A = this chain, B = another copy of it.
Amino acid sequence: MECGEPVEQVVLRPGMTVGELVAAMGRAGAYNGGALAKATDIYEAMLRDRQVTRFLGLAGAMVPAGMGRIVSDLIDGGFVDVLVSTGANLTHDIIEALGCRHYHGTVSCSDVDLREAEINRIYDVFLPNESFIRFEEFMQERFDALSSRGPLPVREFLSELGLALPSGILASAARRSVPVFCPAVADSMIGLQHWLFTQAHRPALDALSDMNDLLSLCFDARSAGVLIVGGGVPKNYILQGMLMTPRGFDYAVQLTGDRPDLGGLSGATLDEARSWGKITATARAVTVYGDATITLPLLVAAVRERIGV
């Protein structure tokens, strides 16, 4: 057993950049601050390596919390090759792209009063019901317009949505031809809108045919890296895809608020993923435990500072 480098006490400086702060956290090197700095190293390496297919998994209510633009900017910057998202994040992305907004709220309130005021609560974020009316109009109109092409793979449908939207994750992905997968689309407002549409029309979506595309991307990757925000379905879907191939991920960064001892995949360590072969024995991998509304901006700002774009 040997000691590594000495822990350097963090020295702060007024006006220091995020990259400088994270570098200081890396020289300290302890707990989740140290893990975040290591994540920055790995994510930087993964973005710089031209051979790597870069996956991004997005779970948790990130768009309502203002984290969506970080993702769309990563896409615009060419740093995402494959996006796998929960349906909820895409729903809220569409809502924002349609010009509706999420609002600062509070947890110290009566949810029954909120119900009467037609405001939906996501922890301390408020979202008025009227957003969903606008969302419904848009979605029904899109299903109507696209249904003639027969049941579309979800990925293709999401790309069409993106092309019809002025901004946001789906818009950026569509413009840059970055595939967006939503394996649990049924479990979202998008799925509910599709159900509504099918009350009077034939199905417009095909939820399973996407797997072929995802698996092809996994098989075709010369090397692969993944940034996992929040666990959930996207984490598992991305990792299981690679599981089918002869190789695993070479780079993996996970930002999660869960904990490993409960056994659930969202909190599971990436070491555990090595036993399955989802990531390689020698992969550079790290988990940062904490709220992604803090760790994601820190990580991405620091990496973008290093890369310079």
Contacts and interface: CB of A to CB of B under 8 A. Distances in A.
Interface of A: 1-19, 21, 24-25, 27-36, 59-61, 64-70, 73, 88, 96, 101-117, 119-126, 128, 183-189, 191-192, 194-195, 198, 203, 205-212, 215, 230, 232-233, 236-237, 240, 243-244, 257-268, 271-277, 281, 289-295, 297-298, 300-301, 304-305, 307-309
A12 B304 contact: yes
Given A3-B105, A184-B187, A14 B304 contact: yes
A24 B293 CA distance: 11
B24 A21 contact: no
Contacts of A210: 186
A61 B264 contact: yes
12 contacts: A3-B119, A7-B66, A9-B67, A9-B70, A12-B297, A15-B19, A18-B18, A33-B66, A111-B273, A123-B263, A124-B263, A192-B244
B240 A187 contact: yes
Given A17-B16, A28-B65, A289 B237 contact: no
A65 B187 contact: no
B263 A9 contact: no
A130 B281 CA distance: 20
Nearest to A210: B186
A257 to B, nearest CB: 4
B31 A262 contact: yes
Given A192-B244, A275-B111, A293-B25, A11 B73 contact: yes
Contacts of A126: 3-4
A249 to B, nearest CB: 13
A159 B81 CA distance: 37
B120 A275 contact: yes
B125 A7 contact: yes
